Amino acid sequence: MQEWNNFYINGKWIAPSGKGKIDVINASTEEVMATIPEGDEHDADAAVTAARAAFDHWSNTPPAERGALLKKVQEGMKARSDELAKVIAAEVGMPLKLAGLIQVGSPIANFGYYAKMASEFQWSEVTGNSRVVREPVGVVACITPWNYPLHQIAAKVAAALAAGCTVVLKPSEVAPVNAFILAEVIDAAGLPPGVFNLISGTGPVAGEALVRHPDVDMVSFTGSTRAGKRISEVAAATVKRVALELGGKSASVILDDADLPAAVKGTINACFLNSGQTCSAHTRMLVPESRYEEVAKLAVETASAFSIGDPFGGSAKLGPLISEAQRERVRNYIRKGMEEGAELLCGGPDAPEELPKGYYVKPTVFGRVKPDSTIAQEEIFGPVLSIITYRDEEEAVRIANGTPYGLAGGVWAGSDERAQQLAKRLRTGQIDINGGGFNLFAPFGGYKQSGRGREMGPYGMEEFLEYKSLQFKPNAPALAPTAPY
Active-site annotation holds for 279: yes
What backbone torsions phi and psi does residue 280 show, to the nearest 5 degrees? -95, 15
Q: Which of 279, 346, 379, 455 is catalytic?
A: 279
Report how far residue 223's alpha carbon sits from residue 450's, in angstroms, rounded to the nearest whole number.
Answer: 10
Active-site annotation holds for 245: yes
From start to end of 174-332, where are the E strands? 196-198, 218-222, 241-245, 250-254, 282-288
Report how far residue 157's alpha carbon sits from residue 166's, in angstroms, rounded to the nearest whole number.
Answer: 9
Report how far residue 374's alpha carbon sits from residue 372's, in angstroms, rounded to the nearest whole number.
Answer: 7
With beta carbons less than 8 A apart as the criterion, state whether 379 and 337 touch: no
Distinct helix (H) and strand (E) counts, the chain:
16, 23
Q: Which of 91, 173, 208, 245 is catalytic?
A: 245
**In sequence order, what are the residues at sequence separation of 6 or more whose Cβ sits closer than 8 angstroms to the Cβ of residue 418?**
255, 257
Q: How many C-beta atoms surround the C-beta of residue 44 within 10 A? A: 28
**In sequence order, what are the residues at sequence separation of 6 or more whose Cβ sits closer than 8 angstroms to the Cβ of residue 222?**
143, 144, 145, 152, 156, 244, 245, 246, 279
54-91 burial string, b = 16+ CB within 10 Å, else e? bbeebbeeebeebbebbbbbbbbbbebeeebbbbbbbb
Residues classed as catalytic: 245, 279
